[in-house]
């Protein structure tokens, strides 16, 4: 998750309306922001992919 001194950038993407609704509901029920959810989900995905051989360096190639 982002640390207090991390520089944040804005990420703009398009996702299906239904998925956005699910994410918002999940966040409300769990008391987190959508930004926190998305950052954690992306970090988790990157961590899992790097374990399987590839990681960030392979994705950048």
CB 27 within 8 A of CB 34: yes
Whose tokens are 């991390």? That residue is 6
pLDDT in tens, 34-49: 999 999 999 999 999 9
Residues of the chain with pLDDT under 50: 61
Sequence spans of domains, the chain: 17-60
Q: Distance of alpha carbon 18 from its chain centroid, rounded?
A: 17
pLDDT of residue 61: 43
DSSP collapsed to 3 states, 2-57:
CCCCCCCCCCCCCCCHHHHHHHHHHHHHHCCCHHHHHHHHHHHHHHHHHHCCCHHH
């Amino acid at each position: 998750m982002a640390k207090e001194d991390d520089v944040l950038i804005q990420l703009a993407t398009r996702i299906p309306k239904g998925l956005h609704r699910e994410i918002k509901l999940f966040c409300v029920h769990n008391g987190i922001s959508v930004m926190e959810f998305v950052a954690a989900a992306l970090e988790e995905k990157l961590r899992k992919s790097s374990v399987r051989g590839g990681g960030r360096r392979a994705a950048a190639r």
